[in-house]
Structure 1
């Protein structure tokens, strides 16, 4: 077994074999109300169809989530005056506050982890994670591996901050 396979196995074991409480909470949050709140905070007003596509959930599931969030006063649903078949979903002030709280809770948790790792190791980790993420934008399972030129272009774009 080469270093690549060994490293891949170690990474998978570390990420999935040792599921931390933070990972479990993030996984739970990616399926429900926190996801909807985060999606609206980042992208702004959406339709239920757009939210269902982003969440990879059924319209029924999204409808249930929206009803719960509306009851809590965190979202509002408004019918489009030009096309009454379209509903726009947006955050209320309470929803924006929840989004900020979610973001700050995550930031505090990650900053604590970084404080434990120390500055040098944290900077190395972030640099390597950025590099890994760039490769991940190119390498899709079941498809041909990217060419040297595609890799070079992706890293040039990541250095300038351009979206692909």
Structure 2
């Protein structure tokens, strides 16, 4: 095996290890929610601007890359818990919009703060310079695979609007 093959295998192993890190198990999980429900709430929060009427289930489905029935099931549970609400779209009476309630917004703020604290721990572990280098390298990896270099069918990734 040549040096390039060894490096390729080492990178594949590293990416596989990263995939198995349980970021949510380190604290930012929203109490009483599954991992998927927590992610849905966080994506909803990050995707909605002030005064936004909310997102359609199909929009959430696209952002989360899961089926609409799965989104609907999670929305039903989260609505029953009072963390989000549905309302008729003011511009299209056939459409339903989903948005966080005040309780859902408070919980997602706590989860965001917990995730930021966790990242501060990683920065303290790596140091500022190595953390910035890691960030640059990860951006380069994202750019490489985002430019059509993915050997598998990779759906395009959209960052939610802030």
TM normalised by structure 1 equals: 0.71
Matches within 5 A, 1:14-25: 14-17=14-17, 19-22=20-23
Larger helix share, 1 or 2: 1
Q: Per-residue deviation at 1:85?
A: 2.2
Contact in 2 for aligned 1:31/1:55 (Cα 8 Å): no
| Alignment counterpart, residue 89 of structure 2, candidates 66, 75, 80 | 80
Q: Per-residue deviation at 1:42?
A: 1.6
| Alignment counterpart, residue 35 of structure 1, candidates 33, 39, 52 | 39
TM normalised by structure 2 equals: 0.72
Structure 1: 5+ residue stretches without partners: 144-164
1:93-113 CA-to-partner distances (Å, cap 9, x unmatched) read 111122222222221112101
Q: Tell me the distance in 2 between the aligned counterparts of 1:131 and 1:30.
A: 32
Structure 2: 5+ residue stretches without partners: 49-53, 154-162
Paired position in structure 1 for 2:150 = 140
Paired position in structure 2 for 1:113 = 122
Q: Is the radius of gyration larger for structure 1 or structure 2?
A: 1
Q: Could you say which structure has the greater relative contact order, defined with CA pairs below 8 angstroms and 6 or more residues apart?
A: 2
Are 2:9 and 1:5 equivalent residues in the alignment? Answer: no
Paired position in structure 1 for 2:55 = 46
| Alignment counterpart, residue 62 of structure 1, candidates 71, 76, 97 | 71
Q: Root-mean-square deviation (CA), in Å?
A: 2.8
